[in-house]
Amino acid sequence: MPLNLKYIDPTYMIRAVPSNASDNVYCTLLAQSAVHGTMAGYTGFTCGLVHGRHTYIPFNRITEKQNKVVITDRMRARLLSSTNQPSFLRAKDIVEDKTDAGQ
């Protein structure tokens, strides 16, 4: 059985600014978890934190439902601020989102 294993360095996907020590530790843990899962024979999974624990998450659990992100949420604003990402929001988007939330 041929094996084709590819490693994609996750460090460039975490933020839009240079990584800090915390990012490096987190990316190392993700990479190690992915390797351990693969070496254990698991397929069709990704690694991540669930309730503060490192877990293997099956792809079908990730794609089984769509998650809606509230674009005017304070948590999203914090994320954009900490990663130096632009928001791309227009005033029209904010008004529409508040109208949707009121229904």
Beta strand 53-58 with 45-50 is: antiparallel
SS3 92: helix
**What's the structural domain count of the chain?**
2
What is the pLDDT, as a whole number, of residue 4?
83
Local confidence pLDDT in tens for the 103 residues of the chain = 787 877 776 655 555 667 778 878 888 999 999 999 999 999 999 999 899 898 999 999 988 988 887 888 888 888 888 877 777 777 676 666 556 655 5
Residues 47 and 10 in one domain: yes
What is the pLDDT, as a whole number, of residue 43?
94
Domain range enclosing 60:
1-64
What is the pLDDT, as a whole number, of residue 103?
54
Residues 38 and 59 in one domain: yes
Closest CA to 5 of 26, 34, 32, 25: 34
What is the C-alpha to C-alpha distance for residues 48 and 63, in angstroms, rounded to an integer?
15
CA 94 to each of CA 46, 56, 59, 90: distance values in angstroms, whole numbers, following the listed order:
33, 36, 32, 7
What is the pLDDT, as a whole number, of residue 97?
56
SS3 85: coil
Residues 78 and 52 in one domain: no
What is the C-alpha to C-alpha distance for residues 52 and 93, in angstroms, rounded to an integer?
33
CB 82: neighbour CB atoms within 10 A? 10
What is the pLDDT, as a whole number, of residue 11?
58
What is the pLDDT, as a whole number, of residue 10?
62
Residues 10 and 51 in one domain: yes
